[in-house]
Amino acid sequence: MRTYRHDVGPLAYASPGVILLALGGGSLAVAGVLALGCHGLASAASVPIIIGAVGHMMGQAAAVALGAGVVALISAAVVRFLMPDCAKIRYQVRRALWHPAHGNPLHLKEGELLPAIKCKEAHTGVYDLTISAGAVTVETITGAASAISSALNGRYIRYAVTQMDTGVAFDRVTFRIEDVLADRSLTFEKVEDMRPRGPTKLRIQDGTEIDLTTSGSMLVAGKTRSGKTTGIIAILLQALQCGRDEYGSEVIIIDPKRAELSRLPYVVALDGDGEARGILDALKRFSDTIVTRQAVLNNLSEQVGDAVKWWDAGMHPSFLFVDEFVSLKSIFPAKPAKDDPDYCISAFDSYIKRIVTMGASAGCYVIISIAEASVQEGGLPAMLRSAMSTRILFRPTRSEGLLLWDKVKLDPLPERVYGPGDAWFSSTDGEHDAVSYVHFPLMDFPVYKELGRLLTLYYEDDPEGTPPPPRET
C-alpha cells in the first residue's frame, strides 16, 4: 500500500512479526473450534457414515490449522528475534504515522502518497529515523515528533526523540531516537584515565565527543553551581595531557574573578591594581601563536602542493579559556589613555574576534564562559556568538536555550530535571549539529590540584617530565 487510505484493516502497516503472530493465533483458534466440532460429532450416538466422514474431515482440518498456527507462531518468534532494532522502530513509527486509528498526525489525505521512512543505527542504542518530505511538508513532519515518541513501546518504551534535523534542501527530517533515561556519563577516578585517544577528539560522555577537526571555538553558559567551570576543566585536562608540540601550543586560562583558578600556576589573573593589562598581553600572545602556526602550515602546504591541516602537521590543539567573559570585558576602559593607547575595550574585542574567526585553522580555540545573566544581557556580540561553532548550556532552561539556538532545535528535547553537569550541547562537526542532552564527566579526584599539576608539566622547562603525546588510533 503506497497511498493513504482511511478504511484499512487493523493489521495494516504492522510488522511481519505481528502479522505472523495474528495469523498463528487465528489458526490455533480455528483448530480449536474444529477440534471441538469433531469431538462432538464423534461422541454422538449411532453416528451415520456421512456424519463420521464429516467428523474425520474436520479432524484433519483441525490438525492442519494447528500445524499452521504453530508454524506461524514459531516464525513470528524467529522474525522478532532476527529483526534488527532499527527495523522494529521503523515499523512502530510508520504504523503510528500512517494508520488512521492513530489520529493521522501527518494530516495525510485520501489517496496521498505515503512518505518514505528509514531508520538506521547511528551508534549503539541510538537511532536516526528519516522521513522524506513530498506531499507532506517538513513543518508537518517536525510537528509529529511527539507522536513518534509516543509510538515507541515494548522494549523501546524509554526511547524518545531527542534531536531533530531538517535536510538542507528541506526534503527530509531526521529524528535522533535514544533511551532518554540511560546514563551515558563518564566517571574518572584518576586524571590519567582522561587522556584522549588523540589530540583532535575530546570526550564529553559515552558516544559524544568534540571533534576539533570539524568544529571551532566554544561558547559555554550556565548559572552559578551548574557545573560549568568543572565541565570546562574536564575539557582542558584532556588537552593538557596531549602535551605541548614544537609549534608553540598553549593552554591559557584567564580568571578575572581572582577565584580558585587564579591560585593555580600559569593562570592569568588581574594585575595587582585590578586592571587587566596582563590579560590583554596573554590574548596578544595567543593571537600571535595563531599567526606563527598558520605560517608554518602555509609553508608546509607549499612544499607538498596541497593543504596541510594542523593535525597532519603534528600540531596539538591550543586553548584559551576566558572565564566570566562579560565581567572581564567591563574592566577595560572604553577609550585608551594617552600614555597607554593599546589598553582599551577595542583592543580586547579585536583580539577575541581574531582568535575566534581565525584560530581553528591553526588548531587554536577559545572557550568563552558566560553566566546566565550575561546571556540575557547580550554581553557577547551577536557576530561573535554566531561564530562559536560549539555551544554548551549547563542546567539549561528553555528561555536561555532560545538565546543560543533556534526554537526548532529545542522542540524535540524531552522535559527533565537538570542537575550540575547536565547540559544542552551542539557542535558543527557533522554529527552533533542538532542540540542534545549530555552530562559532563564526573571526576573523583582533586580536580584543581590535578589541573595545577598538569599545567606545570605542560609548561615546565624539562620536556622529559611531560607525558608523551597520545597518538590517533
DSSP sequence for 188-211: ESSGGGG--SSTTEEEEETTEEEE
Based on the domain organization, do 352 and 437 belong to the same domain?
A: yes
CB atoms within 10 A of CB 102: 14
Whole-angstrom Cα distance, residue 413 to residue 416? Answer: 9
Same domain, 257 and 278: yes
Lookup: cell for 86: 532499527
In this prediction, residue 467 has a pLDDT band, given cuts at 50, 70 and 90, of very low
Of 82, 101, 136, the one marking the end of a domain is: 82
Q: Is 5 within the bounds of a domain?
A: no
Please determine, for residue 15, whether its predicted confidence score (pLDDT) is greater than 80. Answer: yes
Domain holding 38, by residue range, is: 16-82
393 Cβ contact list (under 8 Å, min separation 6): 220, 221, 222, 400, 401, 404, 423, 424, 425
Q: What is the pLDDT of residue 473?
A: 39
Instruction: Classify 115 as helix, strand or coil.
Output: coil
pLDDT tens-digit series, residues 311-341: 999 999 999 999 999 889 989 999 988 888 8
Instruction: Kindly report the average pLDDT of the chain as a whole number.
Output: 86
Same domain (yes/no): 292, 407:
yes
**Rounded-to-integer distance, Cα 98 and Cα 10, Å:** 12
Position 350 scores a pLDDT of: 92
Ranges of beta strands (E only) in 47-154 are 117-123, 126-132
Q: Can you tell me whether residue 316 is helix, strand or coil? A: coil
Same-domain status, 168 and 194? no
Examine the fold and report which residue of 129, 148, 179 is the final residue of a domain before the chain moves on.
Answer: 179
Q: What is the mean pLDDT of residues 252-257?
A: 93
Question: What are the residues whose beta carbons fall under 8 Å from the beta carbon of 378, sequence distance 6 or more?
Answer: none
- Mean pLDDT for 254-283 is 92
| Model confidence pLDDT, tens digit, residues 209-218 | 999 999 889 9
7 located within any domain? no
> What pLDDT score does 444 carry?
95
Strand 208-211 and strand 201-205: the pairing is antiparallel
Considering 82, 97, 116, which residue would you say is the last residue of a domain?
82
Whole-angstrom distance, CA of residue 394 vs CA of residue 240: 23
Q: Are residues 101 and 138 in the same domain?
A: yes
CATH number at residue 166: 3.30.980
Judge whether 255 lies within some domain. yes
**What is the C-alpha separation between 41 and 413, in angstroms, rounded?**
64
Tens digits of per-residue pLDDT, 169-188? 888 999 989 888 788 899 99
Mean pLDDT of 140-161: 90
**Same domain flag for 157 and 221:** no
CATH at residue 356? 3.40.50.300
Higher-pLDDT residue of 197 and 454 is 454
Residue 68 lies in a domain: yes
Please report whether residue 6 resides in a domain. no
Q: What is the DSSP letter of 4?
A: -
166, 198: one domain: no
Q: Is residue 175 part of a domain?
A: yes
User: H or E element: which one contains 20?
Assistant: helix 16-42
Number of domains in the chain: 3
CA distance 91 to 4: 16
pLDDT for 471 beyond 50:
no
**Rounded (10°) angle between helices 277-304 and 345-358:** 30
φ/ψ bin of 46: left (φ > 0), alpha (ψ from -120 to 50), beta (otherwise): left
Q: Measuring CA to CA, how many Å separate 106 from each of 97, 165, 173, 414?
A: 6, 17, 13, 21
Of 268, 271, 226, the C-alpha closest to 418 is: 226
- Domain identity same for 157 and 197: no
pTM: 0.75
Cell numbers of 110, please? Answer: 485520501
pLDDT in tens, 52-83: 555 556 667 777 777 888 887 888 788 888 88
Are residues 255 and 136 located together in one domain of the fold? Answer: no
Q: Are 189 and 362 in contact (CB under 8 A)?
A: no
Predicted local confidence at residue 300, as pLDDT:
95
Neighbour tally for 39: CB within 10 Å: 13
Tell whether 260 is covered by a domain.
Answer: yes
Q: Are residues 227 and 323 in the same domain?
A: yes
Q: Confidence band (pLDDT; 50, 70, 90) for 51?
A: low
Q: What integer is the mean pLDDT of 77-92?
A: 90
Task: Check whether residue 152 and residue 42 sit in a common domain.
Answer: no
Q: Do both 317 and 381 map to the same domain?
A: yes
Of 56-60, 123-127, 248-252, 466-470, which range is least confident?
466-470
Number of residues assigned to the chain = 473
Q: Let me know if residue 412 belongs to a domain.
A: yes
